[in-house]
Amino acid sequence: MDIFMQAALDEARKGSREGGIPIGAVLVEEGRIIGRGRNRRVQQRDQMMHAEIDCLRNARLTGGYHNAVLYTTLMPCYMCAGAVVYFGIKKVVVGEARSAPAARDFMQAHGIEVVDLDWAECRMLMEEYISMNRKQWDEVLSELNPDLLIQQEK
């Protein structure tokens, strides 16, 4: 088991216990975690507070993260993928991409290596959340990209 993805999963579970969407992220540089975050959209009533953004806000202040790897339990959306590009992160490791495939192609087009672990634990956490919070999840997806709702229903 990857210890950094496990740390991201721990963040996702914390978010779930807080009543939020179970998505977590950690930023790793030179083998140590320099930032942690979780989706706090529900808790803070802030649609911009995605796990990856929260993680970057909590990371050390820098002009970039060119040697860092972002671990996230769910494939980043376009907003978060834009932040990955902006900060020069070259690798993103994803727990699962089935719930919201979002911006894989966008990141790869910008030279970012995207590794999808397709972890059953990450999938099950999201599947459980979605089944219990379908209306809220549809709202999240429609904010990100209305076409995702259509894809999700297929």
Distance of alpha carbon 66 from alpha carbon 140, whole angstroms: 30
Q: Can 18 be counted among the known catalytic residues?
A: no
Residue 138 CB burial class (10 angstroms; 0-12, 13-18, ≥19): middle
Element (H, E) at 14: helix 3-17
Q: The tokens of 22 are what?
A: 């179970």
3-state secondary structure of 40: coil
Q: Are 52 and 84 in contact (CB under 8 A)?
A: yes
3-state secondary structure of 123: helix
Catalytic-role residue among 29, 52, 96, 113: 52
Catalytic residues: 52
